[in-house]
A and B are shown apart, each in its own frame.
Chain A
Amino acid sequence: MGTAIVDKNKNYLNEKSGLWSWLTTLDHKRIGIMYMIAVMFFFLLGGIFAMLIRAELFKVGPTLFTSPQYNQVMTLHGAIMVFMVIIPGIPAFLGNFFLPIQLGAKDVAFPRINLLSWYCLIVGAAVVFWSLLHHGVDTGWTFYTPYSISTSNGTTWVVAGAFIIGFSSILTGLNFIATVHKLRAPGMNFWRMPLFVWALYSTAILQVLATPVLGITLLLLVAERVMGIGIFDAKLGGDPVLFQHFFWFYSHPAVYIMILPAMGVVSELIATFSRKTIFGYKAIALSSVGIAAVSFFVWGHHMFVSGQSEVAGIIFSFLTMLVGVPTAIKVFNWVATIYKGSVRFDTPMLYALGFLFLFTIGGVTGIILATIATDVHFHDTYFVVAHFHYVMVGGTLMAIMGGIYYWIPKMFGRMYNEYWARITFVLIFVGFNVTFFPQFVLGALGMPRRYFDYLPVYEPLNRISSVGAWTIGVGFLIGLFVIIQAIFKGEKAPENPWGGKTLEWQTASPPPHENFHNQPVVTAGPYEYR
């Protein structure tokens, strides 16, 4: 409700102080920052494992680890990056901070549940790390039966941890849907919502609908390990492939939980830095919902060689092609937005352009993998590894980095160092392509994924790939320092350094406790530049 006295120096960061005020906060902005810290920490861990993997694969034969150790490092890299970095990355961190502000709301619908979801992530992560004390886990992040039933005890802990992290994801999604439906500012109708909000809304639908199925699948897997219930065990009349059906019913939509918010960030960046009304606003908005809906019909394309029936395989292969349609709609609309825009190449825009380039390669190689005939050849080779890294790292992480640089002035009221930020981008972009492009070739030559060792013929390309990986590592480390430097030592940022049109640029930097000093009233769409 309207307040009489407004202290311009008070903001969400200095409103209260002390660690306890952070750990018990109900402010969505502070919870967003807590997610940022957690996700960055997990990213550092997952990144270290990635560096170790590439070190092991630098030359033929054992280098650093024994083969069981390699399997554990590979599994932890996958599980940490998927469940603790990329899935919560954009929605729970940037989304938590900006979804209510972009809607003109004071907070998310259920602030206490929002805090609970952060604790779910932390507790779940702790349980996952606890597994390291129980001989680790070596199943890969997919926990496929029957191997996951018989392998080391650590599996039970990792599965339980993933189950708890699932709650975090569900609660965030639930909060976002309720906020979008019920807490929009006066005048903010669905066609005036920023595209980032549309993307988060679509993501939230996936989180709410798909994650519970992961929950029951993981519970059944724990029951299978503890009691041997036999639902996924052929010896007792069960069906191991049914586990894959259940798992991918969640995990395919989960792939879009990872990429949809990234698309939302990129929509914001491209519109702002092209200084042009976004082309095809409604088409981009609805293609987000379209991708979310289609994602539930395509999971069988992960199972073409699993023993799934050919009829099902052909149907899934056909349906998977549909994903290309809304995705291409987005890419074409972004390109059309840039066309004849007054483009500014600040660091966030560089990341957005990097996203466009890398994500398109990732998407097009996805079509190759969706075609059942070619997938039989490429399945479980480095071609798949390269494909999903192009989408996950080239897509999602590029968007996270771009989003962080774009919104740092708003979140902390300070500017980052443009020169060093650009160097970061060049290192990450070049390093990324050096790492993963050779892996397409390796995969096409038949190098299997997840293996500890390889034939000598694959060695030259693997060396190139490892050097690229360390370049990305250096890039992200410098990026981290640029972010930390900006937060603590950066120059003071104005309210609207980029000339953005969405609501977050109309409040102070950093925003006050309830986001706006005066309740905003929305009278126009989000990107009305000219």
Chain B
Amino acid sequence: MNTANSTKHHYAHHFESAEHEYQTSKFGLWLFLCTEILMFGGLFVGYAIFHHKYPELFKAGSHFLDWRLGSLNTVVLLISSFTMALSIYYAQMNDRAKTLINLYITLICGFIFMGVKFFEYSHKIHEGLLPGHLFHYAGEGANAVANLPLYFSFYFCMTGLHGTHVLAGLFLIAWLIVRTHRGEFGPKYYTPLECVGLFWHLIDLIWIYLFPLLYLVG
């Protein structure tokens, strides 16, 4: 057993070793990701059912979104996932400076993503392209298909829930940066990095599906 080889971190009393704690934490996090998948899954199932029911509605709705902004956000989020993975890699290499740089890049990418989202949302709100009863758009194509507000219900629910997760991820990454500055992570102990990393990748994963479903397929 490899006990007491971590200088900063002492594992909790009910584990046999730091490795035991690391594996258990990761397993717990995967179980949590499983609940996230099923939670988002409810929205995806709803999307799939209504997309099948009203294909022309979703096609018309997607024309109101700018695919270039969607692509930009996809690229930003993919890069942030890459830097998140790298921060763990450099923690494994015991290179604190590079771990920090990568965490900061991840944080900045997250902010860019939210900035673009903010721009998109304010544009939609301004035009009145809103979910359900709030919908009051009267411009071009407003009456081209029936139930256009339903598309925006899905758009706002899906990206809204996703955006909430990005925000939560940003808080967690900020917390990681603070802890990295304190020098708490190294090759022997980087469980929080690994766990927040998995969470951040899941956010990326969901966006990988949201992007074509909302912006491209229509």
Physical contact A–B (CB less than 8 Å): yes
Binding site for B on A (CB under 8 A): 105-111, 113, 170, 174-175, 177-178, 181-183, 208-213, 215-217, 219-220, 223-224, 227-231, 233, 236-239, 242, 246, 514
Task: Check A237 against B150 for contact (C-beta < 8 Å).
Answer: yes
* CB-defined A-B contacts under 8 Å, sample of 21: A107-B14, A108-B14, A113-B28, A178-B27, A182-B24, A209-B34, A212-B37, A212-B42, A213-B38, A216-B40, A220-B46, A223-B131, A227-B131, A228-B133, A229-B132, A230-B132, A237-B50, A237-B150, A238-B50, A242-B46, A514-B14
Task: Check B27 against A181 for contact (C-beta < 8 Å).
Answer: yes
Neighbouring A residues of B38 by C-beta, 8 Å: 209-210, 212-213
Neighbouring A residues of B154 by C-beta, 8 Å: 231
Q: Which of B20, B34, B57, B154 has the most CB of A within 10 A?
A: B34
Task: Check B20 against A217 for contact (C-beta < 8 Å).
Answer: no
Q: A182-B20, A208-B35 given as contacts; is B49 within 8 A of A242 (CB)? A: yes
Interface of A is mostly: helix
- A273 → chain B closest CB, angstroms: 31
Interface set, chain B 63-119, CB cutoff 8 A to A: none
- B104 → chain A closest CB, angstroms: 28
Interface of B is mostly: helix
Interface set, chain B 115-157, CB cutoff 8 A to A: 130-134, 146-147, 149-150, 153-154, 156-157
Task: Check A106 against B13 for contact (C-beta < 8 Å).
Answer: yes
Task: Check B13 against A182 for contact (C-beta < 8 Å).
Answer: no
- B144 → chain A closest CB, angstroms: 14
Binding site for A on B (CB under 8 A): 12-15, 20, 23-25, 27-28, 31-32, 34-43, 45-46, 49-50, 54, 57, 130-134, 146-147, 149-150, 153-154, 156-157, 161
Task: Check A216 against B43 for contact (C-beta < 8 Å).
Answer: yes
Closest to B3 in A: A1
In the complex, A105 Cα to B146 Cα: how many Å? 59
Task: Check B24 against A109 for contact (C-beta < 8 Å).
Answer: yes
Q: Which of B15, B27, B45, B46 has the most CB of A within 10 A?
A: B46
- A157 → chain B closest CB, angstroms: 20
In the complex, A217 Cα to B157 Cα: how many Å? 12
Task: Check B134 against A183 for contact (C-beta < 8 Å).
Answer: no
- 5 further interface pairs, Cβ-Cβ under 8 Å (given A107-B13, A514-B14): A182-B20, A209-B38, A216-B40, A229-B157, A236-B133
Task: Check B31 against A213 for contact (C-beta < 8 Å).
Answer: no
Neighbouring B residues of A224 by C-beta, 8 Å: 132
- B166 → chain A closest CB, angstroms: 17
Closest to A174 in B: B31
Neighbouring B residues of A210 by C-beta, 8 Å: 38
Which one of A181, A217, A236 lies within 8 Å of B150 (CB-CB)?
A236
- B113 → chain A closest CB, angstroms: 22
- A464 → chain B closest CB, angstroms: 43
Neighbouring B residues of A209 by C-beta, 8 Å: 34-35, 38
Task: Check A229 against B131 for contact (C-beta < 8 Å).
Answer: yes
Instruction: List 4 tightest A-B contacts by C-beta distance, closest first.
Output: A237-B147, A228-B133, A216-B42, A106-B14
Task: Check B31 against A208 for contact (C-beta < 8 Å).
Answer: yes
Closest to A186 in B: B16
Which one of A174, A220, A233, A514 lies within 8 Å of B13 (CB-CB)?
A514
Which one of B15, B27, B28, B157 lies within 8 Å of A220 (CB-CB)?
B157
Task: Check A182 against B27 for contact (C-beta < 8 Å).
Answer: yes
Neighbouring A residues of B39 by C-beta, 8 Å: 212-213, 215-216
Closest to B20 in A: A182
Task: Check B150 against A178 for contact (C-beta < 8 Å).
Answer: no
Which one of B20, B49, B149 lies within 8 Å of A236 (CB-CB)?
B149
Task: Check A109 against B28 for contact (C-beta < 8 Å).
Answer: yes
In the complex, A376 Cα to B186 Cα: how many Å? 64
Neighbouring B residues of A216 by C-beta, 8 Å: 39-43, 161
Task: Check A233 against B132 for contact (C-beta < 8 Å).
Answer: yes
Task: Check A208 against B34 for contact (C-beta < 8 Å).
Answer: yes
Task: Check B14 against A183 for contact (C-beta < 8 Å).
Answer: yes
Task: Check B35 against A228 for contact (C-beta < 8 Å).
Answer: no
Task: Check A110 against B133 for contact (C-beta < 8 Å).
Answer: no
Task: Check B24 against A227 for contact (C-beta < 8 Å).
Answer: no
Neighbouring A residues of B14 by C-beta, 8 Å: 105-109, 111, 183, 514
Task: Check B131 against A246 for contact (C-beta < 8 Å).
Answer: no
- B45 → chain A closest CB, angstroms: 8
Q: A211-B35, A220-B42 given as contacts; is B28 within 8 A of A110 (CB)? A: yes
Closest to A211 in B: B35
Q: A182-B20, A212-B36 given as contacts; is B42 within 8 A of A246 (CB)? A: yes
In the complex, A514 Cα to B134 Cα: how many Å? 56
Task: Check B35 against A183 for contact (C-beta < 8 Å).
Answer: no
Closest to A224 in B: B132
Task: Check B35 against A212 for contact (C-beta < 8 Å).
Answer: yes
Neighbouring A residues of B132 by C-beta, 8 Å: 224, 227-230, 233, 236
Task: Check B153 against A229 for contact (C-beta < 8 Å).
Answer: yes
- B160 → chain A closest CB, angstroms: 9
Q: A107-B14, A212-B36, A216-B39 given as contacts; is B149 within 8 A of A230 (CB)? A: yes
Task: Check A217 against B42 for contact (C-beta < 8 Å).
Answer: yes
Neighbouring B residues of A182 by C-beta, 8 Å: 20, 23-24, 27
